[in-house]
Structure 1
Amino acid sequence: MNRNAFFIVGLFWTCQLLATTSLLAQSKSPTSPAKPNIVLIIADDLGWKDVGFMGSTFYETPNLDRLAAQGMKFTTAYTAAANCAPSRACLFSGQYSPRHGIYTVANADRGDAKTRKLIPVKNNEVLPDSVYTLTEALRDAGYQTASIGKWHLGKSPTTQGFIYNRAGDERGMNKHFSPYGIPTLPDGPPGEYLTDRLTNEALTFLDQPRDRPNAARPFFLYLPYYAVHTPLQAPDSLVKKYERKPKSPGHNHATYAAMIESLDSNVGRILKKLEALGLDQNTIVIFTSDNGGIRSISRQDPIRAGKGSYYEGGVRVPLVVRWPGIVAAGSTSQTPVINLDYYPTFLDILKRPKPSQPLDGISILPLLTGKSVAERPFFWHFPIYLEAYDQQTDNGRDPLFRTRLGSTIRLGDWKLHEYFEDNALELYNLKTDLGEQHNIASENPAVVKKLHTLLQNWRAKQAAFIPTERNPAYVAP
């Protein structure tokens, strides 16, 4: 073989060696994929303070506390609605409720007709397929998409961008032990616990081959547990544990605590699997709740009221984001954020264009990377009635309803509530009155005027329904 032939053969094997070395380096590198995987875990009706990392000493959440220690905890995280279906619709559409028409679960004229002064909006119960959802945007960016758990926005999440569905349909609540009676989830052995089963399904999805080691197709795993929604049901061994445990003021329900511990343990299983598969370093993990908790079950003091109310207890939720190498471990953000922000944030992370439809949130990627975002208003519109859970403990505006028809705006430390039945305005300074106990509207007319004008302009821009028709069944007290 002549010198040129030796040179060519040597060059060939050198190139092969370099290519192999490069591939091995990519397979060993946890950050080699260009796009991060996304795991979005949503608890159902979990209150703002119902986890250890937000201050509870009765509920035990070691896995969630560890997740918070590894990522960023948000102390002022909101949902765009105070109950299940509209909160989820806002998250996936990136839009406030007036745009998609989902304001509540089922009918909007809840409570005794004799006590309702106005005719509420006609509620939409299905997120229209015409909406280009967050999931469809991720699917079109090359993501494998899976929904495992509660859907509550129509018959199936597969019409909204999800390829893989387990346990999701139009229903919003379910019993927590098998047989489940969920068409898209075969029943397990009698007595199997639903939270455990949903995690098993999620682990099966994570174990599926997906072009590793290059991870050319990242995944979006949406894991909306049915827990801790009523009916309150949990394994007996855990319930007995909390029956023996010393109670905390407002945190003292043994079955509810057992449901939280089970939820926490199953989140731990997900985190452990990500680590075992070498995916944890390139996976964004988000944990939050769809809305506030039920106050008669678990109080969120000092914040007021709970699920279904537009006081802080109905819309403020726990939120943790972990993204190794991007989000500083053990960090905390006090900047208000809302679940409308997830959609534009993911688009920003992936450098994807915004859809043609409006998005009402902003990218909070700057917050995740230690920067700031400009102060902005937050809005809630609820032309609906939601009856009280418990007249003695709900701590709403009146004992009959968690909410009556109205709108709310927060800007900075100020929060203004407007009620359509009596045109009343309530103003609170959340910095000095987080519990919204002292209405200071009469003492701050300039603030009221500014916020009310912003609220009215926002409603006009959203084409929000304003109820004016009187209810003929109403009986004045």
Structure 2
Amino acid sequence: MMRATPLRKKKESIMRRKTTLIVTIFLAFSVNACKSQNAQKTNITQKPNIVLINVDDLGWKDLGFMGSTYYETPNLDKLATEGMIFTNAYAGAANCAPSRACLISGLNTPRHGIYTVGSSDRGNPKTRKLIPIKNTDHLTNTVYTLPQMLKSAGYITGSFGKWHVGNNPTEQGIDVNIGGSSKGNPGSKGYFSPYKIDNIIDGPKGEYLTDRLTNEAISFVKKYKDSTFFLYLPYYTVHSPIMGKESFIEKFKKKKGSNGQERPDYAAMIASMDENIGRLLEVIKETGLEKNTIIIFTSDNGGIRAISHQDPLRAGKGSYYEGGIRVPLIIKWPNHLQTNTRIAQPVSNIDFYPTIQTIAKPKRSAKLLDGIDLNTILSDQTLIERDLFFHFPIYLEAYKKEEDDSRDPLFRTRPGSVIISGDWKLHHYFEDEAFELYNLKTDLGETNNIAEKHPEKIKELYKKLEDWREKTNAPLPFEKNFNYDAVFEAKEKIITRKDISKEVD
């Protein structure tokens, strides 16, 4: 056997040291790489899932936690104890399409031009003094939507229900779409399968739409529980036609209503909505996602007063009195927000976008948003002084003269603008250049117009309103309608409209 020479031993020693150094360096890189990957995973999981539930036409007081004694909402009442309740929450507009456009875009109505559903010259032309501003039906492709922003932040996005701000949600930032298109209601008899909406496969005959949309949302949660997701659940309920499950209807027939809340079929729709939200929240808990999920529950506008009163709020859907624009709102985020807390800070659904954007930290942020970031309010309840503005240069016909409680019996709203500043609220109407001024602290029901008593306050608020309209390029309808007939209008105001139009939005 050949013996190793001193020179050979020296070379082998050097090689062993080199090998040891290479292995050490490799292991160090591997450990650092693992740490880096784990850090990246941690950062990803630190972004919360977001569940945004937007109920259609649900009134401010149509829930147990908001004071209703007729409607039963045990799951939402429980959610309210686990999160923050905003008692002065507003929709961006008084009916479906413009409000949803505000939420999805983060922009106020003059920015996107959606002021109503369909045509803006609604109602009899002989009763309209002005030519209204032409309405835009959908958000244009220049709008950077909330779902698109969240996709930029790495979120999987799903929408289950009413979209209404475009023909195809998948072209506006939604990855998974069930039941969403430009349609604004499920059609006559549309709450039971076979369905009359787009982008959904019929279930078994008689399947209830609210159940089905919740089933689809639950499947989405289970499939993407290991990802970061945005779940938008814009139920078609409780929009007309008013259709509940028979078992619930029978239950509420045996219960006494009060204060204009007494329809068993409407109560049945609310009960199904609450039941299904409870199912979804339970799955989120069972999958271990509860602590890292933000839940936002709200409505797209006020309720229809002919169906359910919101006393002491005046009027309802389509009106810019409080009953048409004030909505319920709960936000829950475990370990981040106080629980069982009521917040009086005025907020709007246009605030959701900037608030979520701050949390999501997307690669591409929206360049222009009209809302405010609510994170300081959510974290330490710091109040933010801000004014709320509403612009509606359109006509929206009445539902039911003796029930609407609007400014006049023919329209839920005529063209105008509104500003809410602190306790004060100013209505400005374009047809007659009239003002209505209310102090919401002392007159939440807007029953006592004190405009003549406070000319300086009107001057102050009107200046703010004019500045805002100029800033947002809000169009004003000044062209006279030559079909207007004052005598005809006077006669029409005397006629009592008895039927509620089931397809009016």
2:67 is the counterpart of 1:42:
no
Q: What CA distance in whole angstroms lies between the structure 2 residues aligned with 1:125 and 1:195?
A: 26
User: 1:367 Cα deviation (Å)?
Assistant: 1.1
User: 1:374 Cα deviation (Å)?
Assistant: 2.3
User: 1:350 Cα deviation (Å)?
Assistant: 2.7
2:142 is the counterpart of 1:142:
no
Q: What CA distance in whole angstroms lies between the structure 2 residues aligned with 1:253 and 1:398?
A: 25
Tell me what 2:116 maps to. Answer: 104
Distance 1:22 1:467, change over 3 A: closer
Within a 5 Å distance, the mapping from 1:184-263 to structure 2 comes to 184-209=199-224, 212=226, 217-263=227-273
Within a 5 Å distance, the mapping from 1:159-174 to structure 2 comes to 159-174=171-186
Q: What CA distance in whole angstroms lies between the structure 1 residues aligned with 2:268 and 2:30?
A: 57
2:473 is the counterpart of 1:463:
yes
Q: SS of the counterpart of 1:120? A: coil
**Is contact 2:149-2:366 (8 Å) kept?**
no
Q: What CA distance in whole angstroms lies between the structure 2 residues aligned with 1:121 and 1:23?
A: 54
Distance 1:356 1:238, change over 3 A: closer
Q: What CA distance in whole angstroms lies between the structure 2 residues aligned with 1:207 and 1:440?
A: 55
Deviation per CA, 1:272-308, whole angstroms, max 9, x where unpaired?
0001100011000010000000001000000100000
User: 1:371 Cα deviation (Å)?
Assistant: 2.7
Deviation per CA, 1:349-382, whole angstroms, max 9, x where unpaired?
2344784542100000111112313211100000
2:414 is the counterpart of 1:404:
yes
Give aligned-pair identity as a percent: 56
Tell me what 1:269 maps to. Answer: 279
User: 1:329 Cα deviation (Å)?
Assistant: 1.1
Tell me what 2:100 maps to. Answer: 88
2:374 is the counterpart of 1:364:
yes
Deviation per CA, 1:146-188, whole angstroms, max 9, x where unpaired?
0110000111111111111000000000021111032300111
User: 1:16 Cα deviation (Å)?
Assistant: 11
Distance 1:357 1:16, change over 3 A: closer
Q: What is the identity, as a one-letter code, of the residue corresponding to 1:337?
A: V
**Is contact 2:150-2:362 (8 Å) kept?**
no
User: 1:126 Cα deviation (Å)?
Assistant: 1.0
Within a 5 Å distance, the mapping from 1:434-453 to structure 2 comes to 434-453=444-463
Which of 54, 71, 74 is matched with 2:66 structurally?
54
**Is contact 1:347-1:354 (8 Å) kept?**
no
Tell me what 2:395 maps to. Answer: 385
Q: What is the identity, as a one-letter code, of the residue corresponding to 1:470?
A: K
Deviation per CA, 1:101-142, whole angstroms, max 9, x where unpaired?
100000011111110000001100011011011111100000
Distance 1:144 1:261, change over 3 A: same
**4+ residue runs of structure 1 moved beyond 6 angstroms?**
15-24
Tell me what 2:11 maps to. Answer: none
**Is contact 2:195-2:202 (8 Å) kept?**
yes
Tell me what 2:355 maps to. Answer: 345
Q: TM-score, normalised by structure 1?
A: 0.93
Q: What CA distance in whole angstroms lies between the structure 1 residues aligned with 2:306 and 2:335?
A: 41
Q: SS of the counterpart of 2:52? A: strand
**Is contact 2:259-2:311 (8 Å) kept?**
no
Q: SS of the counterpart of 2:478? A: coil
Distance 1:54 1:354, change over 3 A: farther
Distance 1:209 1:135, change over 3 A: closer
Q: SS of the counterpart of 2:193? A: coil
Which is richer in helix?
Answer: 2
**Is contact 1:233-1:255 (8 Å) kept?**
yes
2:330 is the counterpart of 1:320:
yes
Q: What CA distance in whole angstroms lies between the structure 1 residues aligned with 2:338 and 2:70?
A: 28
Distance 1:263 1:453, change over 3 A: same
Within a 5 Å distance, the mapping from 1:67-78 to structure 2 comes to 67-78=79-90
Q: What CA distance in whole angstroms lies between the structure 2 residues aligned with 1:473 and 1:138?
A: 48
Distance 1:21 1:94, change over 3 A: closer
Q: What CA distance in whole angstroms lies between the structure 2 residues aligned with 1:209 and 1:393?
A: 46
Give RMSD over aligned pairs.
Answer: 2.6
Deviation per CA, 1:19-46, whole angstroms, max 9, x where unpaired?
999999x99x9x9812000000010000
**Is contact 1:181-1:187 (8 Å) kept?**
no
- Equivalent pairs counted in the alignment come to 468
Q: What CA distance in whole angstroms lies between the structure 2 residues aligned with 1:69 and 1:201?
A: 27
Q: SS of the counterpart of 1:98? A: helix
Deviation per CA, 1:62-110, whole angstroms, max 9, x where unpaired?
0000000000000000011000000010011111111111000000111
Bigger mean CA offset, 373-382 vs 253-262: 373-382
Q: What is the identity, as a one-letter code, of the residue corresponding to 1:44?
A: D
**Is contact 2:419-2:425 (8 Å) kept?**
yes
Q: SS of the counterpart of 2:143? A: coil
Larger gyration radius, structure 1 or structure 2:
2
Distance 1:233 1:458, change over 3 A: same
Q: What CA distance in whole angstroms lies between the structure 1 residues aligned with 2:142 and 2:368?
A: 13
2:78 is the counterpart of 1:66:
yes
**Is contact 2:106-2:370 (8 Å) kept?**
yes
Q: Unaligned stretches of 5+ in structure 2?
A: 1-16, 488-505
Distance 1:21 1:468, change over 3 A: closer
